[in-house]
Amino acid sequence: MRDIFEEIFENQPLDPMVSARQGGRPNLRKRFYTRAHIGEGAGEGGFAVLLDGKPIKTPARRALAAPTRSLAQHLADEWHAQTEVIEPGRMPLTRLANAVIDAVADQTAPVAEEVTKYLGTDLLFYRADAPPGLVALQSQHWDPLLAWAHEKLGARFVLVEGVVFAAQPDAAIAAARKAIPNDPWKLGAVASVTTLTGSGLLALALSAGQLDVNAAWAAAHVDDDWQMAHWGRDEAAIARRDYRFAEMQAAATVLRHAV
């Protein structure tokens, strides 16, 4: 199983845009199993995902298992959804699970620190000073999240116009830092959302249930949507964005089902 797993998940470009730049469709492995399901009862590492009764191993040779039956079922469903070939680019939940099991679980403190760093230069703090429509759109999507951070987290952040860096108050960052989850699965999902959106605050709001995944994604792309609305669609950018939204949805699934 390890050789198969390495071939599927380690030696292929996952991003379709990367694949295109490298010369087209990757050499995908044919589906080799009939059934994807979860083991009966929680074992080591949680509820294991099985292929025809055999456990799947992560690239680090750990069991692909989730802490809850519902999350394990989502993983099994992702494997079951593969048809004639196994396409890693369409398995964002499995990729995130691999990262959590093989990396995040062993280094929660450094991962949390990376999220904290984003809180110092968060997307939501840097505002346009023109045109008025963009200014209003940023305010519409972002101001409620800043109000939530102040009211619920006790974090009052500083807003900046333009791209000039402004240091955020240490007290605000420390207050928001307390909301970063300790659980490896939720932490991994928060870290994923943070890097996908450029906003640790968006990730914390999604984790807390303050907004859903669609609203979080829309908030992260206010500037891009404004540009496309006024200057036309960029089809390559949209394709890449769709790919990344699948990763965002995987992180949201983890946040809903990890505990």
The C-alpha atoms of residue 178 and residue 104 are separated, in whole angstroms, by 18
H helix intervals, 34-107:
69-80, 92-102
**Among 196, 222, 226, which Cα is nearest to 139's?**
222
Q: Which domains can be identified in the chain, with CATH numbers?
A: 2-102 (3.30.2180.10), 107-257 (1.10.3580.10)
For the stretch 182-222, pLDDT in tens is 999 999 999 999 999 999 999 999 999 999 999 999 999 99
**Among 14, 18, 33, which Cα is nearest to 87's?**
14
Looking at every residue in the chain, the average pLDDT score rounds to 89
User: Is residue 237 scored above 90 in pLDDT?
Assistant: no
**What mean pLDDT do residues 100-110 have?**
95
Helix, strand, coil tally for the chain in percent (to 5)? 60, 10, 30
Please give the pLDDT value at position 231: 85
Question: With pLDDT > 70 as the criterion, what percentage of the chain qualifies?
Answer: 88
**What mean pLDDT do residues 100-115 have?**
96
**Among 85, 73, 82, which Cα is nearest to 49's?**
73
CB 181 within 8 A of CB 190: yes
Please give the pLDDT value at position 3: 42
Q: 204 vs 1, 115, 124, 212, CA distance in Å?
A: 36, 10, 13, 11
Please give the pLDDT value at position 43: 66
User: Is residue 12 scored above 50 in pLDDT?
Assistant: no
User: Is residue 119 scored above 70 in pLDDT?
Assistant: yes
Residues 6+ apart with CB under 8 A from 164: none
- β-partners of residue 46 are 43
Q: In which band, very low, low, confident or very high, does the pLDDT at 24 lie, cut at 50, 70 and 90?
A: very low
User: Is residue 4 scored above 60 in pLDDT?
Assistant: no
